[in-house]
């Protein structure tokens, strides 16, 4: 334990890396083998040679006779090829005809004014500046001048330029320009308090917006708990003997098996639907039956796979099942228990080996689809190369539509793995080689992913490494994150490859935005395994705001990562010490005589409706609190409590509910009187 104590007090370590931002079609940019002929982009671009030719033809059709304006229009059209085009133009279906043009509110280079001066009196056929095009994305074939649509430079730049100082990205005529705003001070450390001695693997905020959360342990029980307010000195409140749902008799529990994921439908408060991801053993349960992930479609024969820890291939299955609270309930949020019988089996797949099957499930905050994280299947470094096999679902992030359930005949004809449909914009719509469920590929074992609550297009996943590196990836549509061609930024050389290898040149690998080398952590167990967290959006610790928190499973360190400038793809990550705050409701287990908490294993992070962040460790639940409670200095810290007031928790009885209902009616009456007078 002395080694761990020294590790947590190491000086802050800062590293940086570069991510691939998104294109307007939500795909990651391509690595060009040669520069584009017309637009001259090289390296990373959102255009290929066909796109380049299309832009050239579009430019010719404009028939611009002024050389200065022609040069500017060419640069604007070619900005579609920028690797930051999603930031400049938006994404489907709200793509603008013109990128955000830099104006004085964003950049010293007033490019928007330059466009106005150079092109306002020039006739342009199929002009992208017609105001009707902003909504319709159509074109007008008649030649027109900018002054036909806009009376002044101010009006023009209000439509196409940066409208406020908060716009973080714009086009300056040559490059994508970023608004570099002062970031919050670097945190001195992470201050936490202990609010429970229980061990859980999932925490999900109640969809009703209250201060309640669902907690699940790996054995298969789910509880509904009430969180204490910051600074209250309280602990988690729930009845351990009365779980919200108990699935222990259906779940196979072992080191890498159990209840691994929990997600509530975006409309849970009205429909009561929720989903659980778990593992089962078909030798113990007749209902545990699904197609083996190793099959002829992926060039794999399960009869030839070696047994793994005594288990035969596909003895264990990964399952997503749908459950519900009382189906007759008109207010699902009021329910304290769920029906223990499955509504339907959404997904079932047999596992070739006994490790690396991830299992987290999340609903996308913008699209409402269900994302399922799946590892490469395990054994010695993915020997059958499942993670790079586009027909295999192993080593992938999958995306399902669970609102449109097809018929049994449709499921069979489409070759689906359960009761779901395929979102129309899944990557297979553009890449026919991909299995239709796949959203992204090339993962070893994605362990805990999250969407940034303030920038929901930012989807972060931590992927467990093998020999050298633990990584955090920024997930994009159809993105290939490299395993097992790469382990993080490093080339990987597997020792046993019965399933063959993938060449470096055949993939457009996306490298991590954050992470850490195994050589930088010396945990007590002598190994490393990343646990992904959240972008911190609470103001309890204002110096942590906007930073992505992640940790090592074996408590080998904590990190905070930041993209700066915002939207640039440039990330820095810093290692931070951790301490237990004064007056922790439950005393932290400490190392020696110091206040450094001994967390043992860090299974997951959690986030509540306040956006407070929690650590789910093997010896308890911890919450991030204000830094001054650990004597960490943060110049932005002003208040001693969180100003957010959550929605009240539903009452626990019918009498309380009637009383609350009466109060609501009374309040509405009082408000109406105020409005009248």
CA-to-CA distance for 21 and 46, rounded, in angstroms?
10
Q: What is the pLDDT of residue 591?
A: 62
CA-to-CA distance for 4 and 10, rounded, in angstroms?
10
- Under DSSP, the state recorded for 125 is T
Query: For the segment 372-421, what is each residue's pLDDT rounded down to a tens digit?
Result: 999 999 998 999 999 999 999 999 999 999 999 999 999 998 899 999 99
Q: Pick the residue with more confidence: 155 or 18?
A: 155
CA-to-CA distance for 383 and 644, rounded, in angstroms?
50
* Location of structure tokens 């002003």: 638
For residue 476, give every residue at least 6 positions away whose Cβ sits within 8 Å of its Cβ, in sequence order, or none. Answer: 20, 22, 26, 27, 28, 440, 459, 510
Contact 16, 571 (CB under 8 A): yes
CA-to-CA distance for 247 and 182, rounded, in angstroms?
49
Q: What is the mean pLDDT of residues 344-349?
A: 97
CA-to-CA distance for 506 and 581, rounded, in angstroms?
51
Maximum separation of any 2 CA atoms in the chain, in Å = 81
| pLDDT of 639 above 60 | no
For residue 375, give every residue at least 6 positions away whose Cβ sits within 8 Å of its Cβ, in sequence order, or none. Answer: 355, 356, 357, 358, 394, 395, 443, 444, 445, 446, 464
Q: What is the pLDDT of residue 6?
A: 34
Q: What is the pLDDT of residue 167?
A: 62
| pLDDT of 647 above 70 | no
CA-to-CA distance for 554 and 524, rounded, in angstroms?
8
Q: What 3-state class would DSSP assign to 118? A: helix
* Vertex 172 angle, CA 121 and 143, to 5°: 25
| pLDDT of 9 above 80 | no
Q: Which two tokens stand for residue 108?
A: 């010293």
Least-confidence region, from 194-203, 486-495, 573-582, 656-665: 656-665
Task: Please name which of 235, 229, 238, 240 lies closest in space to residue 588, comparing C-alpha atoms.
Answer: 235
Q: What is the pLDDT of residue 181?
A: 65
Q: What is the pLDDT of residue 654?
A: 40
- Residues 182/185/190/193 CA torsion (nearest 10 deg): -90
Straight-line distance from the first to the last Cα atom of the chain, in angstroms, rounded to the nearest whole number? 69
> For the chain, what are the domain ranges?
32-178, 201-545
For residue 309, give every residue at least 6 positions away whose Cβ sits within 8 Å of its Cβ, in sequence order, or none. Answer: 354
Q: Which residues pair with 474 in a beta bridge?
A: 460
Q: How many helices (H) and strands (E) does the chain have?
A: 10, 32
CB neighbours of residue 240 within 10 Å: 9
CA-to-CA distance for 267 and 368, rounded, in angstroms?
9
Fold category of 201-545 in CATH? Neuraminidase (2.120.10)
Q: What is the pLDDT of residue 645?
A: 46
Give the helix, strand, coil percentages of the chain, each rounded to 5.
20, 25, 55
CA-to-CA distance for 392 and 592, rounded, in angstroms?
48
Query: For the segment 286-332, what is each residue's pLDDT rounded down to a tens digit?
Result: 889 999 999 999 999 999 899 998 899 999 999 999 999 976 678 99
Q: What is the pLDDT of residue 568?
A: 84
| pLDDT of 651 above 90 | no
Q: What percent of the chain is predicted at pLDDT more than 70?
A: 86
Query: For the segment 536-552, what is each residue's pLDDT rounded down to a tens digit?
Result: 999 999 999 999 999 99
* Location of structure tokens 């001259």: 40
Q: What percent of the chain is predicted at pLDDT more than 90?
A: 73
- Under DSSP, the state recorded for 436 is T
Q: What 3-state class would DSSP assign to 676? A: helix
Write down how long the chain is.
Answer: 677
Q: Pick the residue with more confidence: 269 or 135?
A: 269
| Beta strands at 190-196 and 578-580: parallel, antiparallel or unpaired | parallel
Q: What is the pLDDT of residue 40?
A: 94
User: In whole numbers, what is the pLDDT of the chain averaged over residues?
Assistant: 88
CA-to-CA distance for 432 and 435, rounded, in angstroms?
8
Buried b (16+ CB within 10 A) or exposed e, 301-314: eeeebeebeebbbb
| pLDDT of 641 above 50 | no
| pLDDT of 656 above 70 | no
Query: For the segment 350-379, what is each residue's pLDDT rounded down to a tens digit?
Result: 999 999 999 999 999 999 999 999 999 999
Q: Which two tokens stand for residue 371?
A: 């994302």
Main-chain dihedrals φ then ψ at residue 170, nearest 5 degrees? -160, 170
Q: Which two tokens stand for residue 91?
A: 């994404």
Least-confidence region, from 194-208, 485-499, 589-603, 605-619: 589-603
CA-to-CA distance for 261 and 438, rounded, in angstroms?
18
| pLDDT of 132 above 70 | no
DSSP string over 294-333 = SSGGGT--GGGSPPBTTBPTTSEEEEEEEEEE-TT-S-GG
């Amino acid at each position: 334990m002395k080694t761990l104590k020294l590790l947590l007090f190491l000086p802050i370590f800062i590293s940086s890396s570069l991510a691939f931002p998104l294109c307007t079609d939500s795909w990651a940019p391509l690595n060009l083998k040669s520069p584009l002929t017309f637009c001259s982009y090289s390296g990373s671009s959102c255009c290929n040679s066909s796109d380049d030719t299309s832009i050239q033809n579009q430019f010719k059709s404009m028939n611009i006779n002024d050389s200065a304006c022609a040069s500017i229009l060419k640069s604007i059209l070619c900005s579609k090829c920028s690797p930051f085009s999603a930031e400049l133009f938006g994404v489907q279906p709200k793509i603008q005809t013109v990128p955000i043009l830099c104006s004085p509110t964003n950049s010293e280079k007033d490019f928007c004014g330059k466009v106005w001066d150079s092109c306002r009196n020039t006739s342009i056929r199929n002009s992208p500046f017609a105001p009707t095009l902003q909504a319709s994305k159509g074109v007008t074939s008649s030649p027109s001048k900018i002054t036909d649509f806009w009376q002044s430079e101010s009006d023009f730049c209000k439509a196409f330029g940066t409208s406020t100082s908060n716009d973080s990205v714009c086009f300056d005529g040559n490059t994508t320009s970023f608004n570099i705003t002062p970031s919050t001070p670097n945190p001195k450390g992470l201050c936490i308090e202990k609010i429970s001695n229980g061990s859980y693997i999932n925490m999900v905020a109640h969809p009703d917006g209250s201060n309640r959360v669902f907690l699940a342990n790996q054995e298969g029980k789910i509880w509904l708990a009430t969180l204490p307010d910051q600074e209250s000195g309280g602990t988690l409140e729930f009845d351990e003997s009365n779980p919200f749902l108990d699935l222990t008799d259906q779940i196979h529990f072992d080191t890498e098996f159990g209840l691994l994921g929990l997600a509530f439908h975006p409309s849970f408060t009205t429909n009561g639907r929720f989903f659980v991801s778990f593992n089962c053993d078909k030798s113990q349960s007749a209902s545990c039956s699904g197609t083996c992930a190793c099959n002829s479609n992926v060039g794999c024969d399960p009869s030839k796979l070696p047994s793994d820890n005594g288990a035969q291939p596909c003895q264990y299955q990964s399952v997503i099942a749908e459950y519900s609270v009382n189906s007759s309930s008109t207010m699902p949020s009021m329910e304290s228990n769920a029906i223990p019988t499955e509504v339907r089996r959404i997904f079932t797949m047999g596992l070739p080996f006994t490790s690396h099957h991830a299992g987290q499930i999340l609903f996308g905050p913008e699209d409402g689809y269900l994302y399922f994280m799946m590892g490469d299947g395990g054994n010695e470094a993915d020997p059958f190369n499942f993670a790079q096999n586009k027909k295999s679902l192993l080593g992938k992030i999958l995306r399902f539509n669970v609102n449109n359930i097809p018929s049994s005949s449709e499921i069979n004809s489409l070759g689906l793995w359960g009761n779901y449909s395929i979102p129309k914009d899944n990557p297979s719509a553009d890449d026919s080689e991909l299995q239709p469920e796949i959203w992204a590929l090339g993962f070893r074992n994605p362990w805990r992913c999250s969407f940034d609550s303030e920038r929901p297009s930012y989807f972060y996943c931590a992927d467990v490494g093998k020999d050298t590196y633990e990584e955090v990836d920024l997930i994009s549509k159809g993105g290939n994150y490299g395993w097992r061609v790469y382990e993080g930024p490093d080339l990987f050389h597997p020792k046993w490859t019965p399933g063959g290898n993938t060449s470096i040149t055949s993939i457009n690998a996306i490298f991590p935005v954050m992470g850490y080398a195994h050589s930088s952590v010396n945990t007590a167990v002598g190994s490393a395994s990343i646990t992904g967290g959240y972008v911190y959006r609470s103001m309890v610790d204002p110096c942590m705001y906007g930073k992505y928190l992640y940790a090592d499973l074996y408590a080998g360190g904590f990190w905070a990562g930041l993209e700066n400038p915002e939207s640039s793809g440039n990330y820095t990550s810093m290692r931070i010490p951790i301490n237990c705050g004064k007056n922790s409701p439950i005393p932290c287990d400490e190392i020696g005589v110091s206040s450094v908490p001994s967390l043992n294993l860090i299974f997951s992070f959690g986030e509540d409706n306040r956006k407070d962040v929690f650590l789910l460790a093997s010896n308890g639940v911890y919450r991030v609190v204000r830094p001054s409670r650990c004597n960490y200095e943060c110049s932005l810290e002003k208040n001693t409590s969180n100003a957010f007031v959550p929605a009240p928790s539903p009452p626990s009885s019918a009498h309380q509910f009637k009383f609350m209902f009466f109060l609501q009616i009374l309040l509405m009456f009082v408000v109406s009187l105020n409005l009248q007078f």
